[in-house]
Amino acid sequence: MREQVARTACLSIEGLTKRFGGFYALNELHMEVAQGHIHALIGPNGAGKTTFFNLVTGVLPADAGRIVFNGQVVADTRPSKRTIKGIARTFQNIRLFPHLTAMETVMIGSHCRAFPSVWKALGKAVLQRPLGEADEERQMRENAVELLEFLGLTDKQDAKASDLPYGEQRKLELARALATQPRLLLLDEPTAGMNPRETDELDDVITRVRDRGVTIILVEHDMRLVMGVSDSVTVINFGTKIAEGPPEKIQSDPLVVEAYLGEDVQL
């Protein structure tokens, strides 16, 4: 019999734990996210979803457990290092520099992949010009143009971020995250504050991002979006996993229904 070659998961979470004082925001969470999947992480308010993103991106240190990304344990806690490894996110509350234009905002995202400054300095000393800087700037601009087009923001490229309608600010945040060339993208409640039309469009946007080869973890309250777009769903409550599986199985899981009782969420 031929040996089965196991596909490396994009992300393996092993016993991840985070305490705030004596309170467990995450308690020995285990989770596997397959390459190329849209994997939803859902749960009532306060379940630990944003904390999970903060641990995976290195914003907060874990108290216990391991994060394995593309088969390698992620040990360096600096968020910038994790971005370079290929982990990007958007935020539950939009975080944009209000005075930058849409184009500048997306170009900032590319900076983490910029030519190392040591080579630029060497170029300056030897060639009297910063090595590769013009090429690099052009490349960053080309990437930004492509991403703005991808998200339907081409005609907004010179608009200030703060002047864009809410739904477009969310898309701009997404473009900035994609500019870091992630292999894993964490989306924290992307429909928050969006109108129904903008929410409807997001289904298509998320699918197209996945089709670019990006694995996605989606934290979201809009269950129509979650159930429509996800390949698999993990449900947590009080920092603990209570259910996992394909969307159609999760929707009717009694533990999930019970966890959401009293929440303004339609499963």
Residues near Mg ion (CB under 5 A): 49-50, 92
Q: Which does 47 bind (CB under 5 to 8 A by kind): Mg ion, ligand ADP, none?
A: ligand ADP
Closer residue to ligand ADP (CB): 50 or 105: 50
Residue 127 C-beta: closest distance to ligand ADP, Å: 48
Residue 226 C-beta: closest distance to ligand ADP, Å: 14
Closer residue to Mg ion (CB): 70 or 92: 92
Closer residue to ligand ADP (CB): 45 or 128: 45
Instruction: Provide the binding-site residues for ligand ADP, judged by CB under 6 A.
Output: 20, 25, 43, 45-51
Q: Which does 210 bind (CB under 5 to 8 A by kind): Mg ion, ligand ADP, none?
A: none
Phi-psi domain of 218 (left: phi exceeds 0; alpha: psi -120 through 50; beta: other): beta
Residue 60 C-beta: closest distance to ligand ADP, Å: 7
What φ, ψ does residue 57 adopt, rounded to 5°?
-85, -5
Q: Which does 20 bind (CB under 5 to 8 A by kind): ligand ADP, Mg ion, none?
A: ligand ADP
Compute how many other C-beta atoms are within 10 angstroms of the C-beta atom of residue 209.
21
- Strands in 87-90's sheet, in edge-to-edge order, are 87-90, 184-188, 215-219, 38-42, 232-237, 240-245
Closer residue to ligand ADP (CB): 51 or 232: 51
Residue 31 C-beta: closest distance to ligand ADP, Å: 14
Residue 122 C-beta: closest distance to Mg ion, Å: 44
Q: Which does 206 bind (CB under 5 to 8 A by kind): ligand ADP, Mg ion, none?
A: none
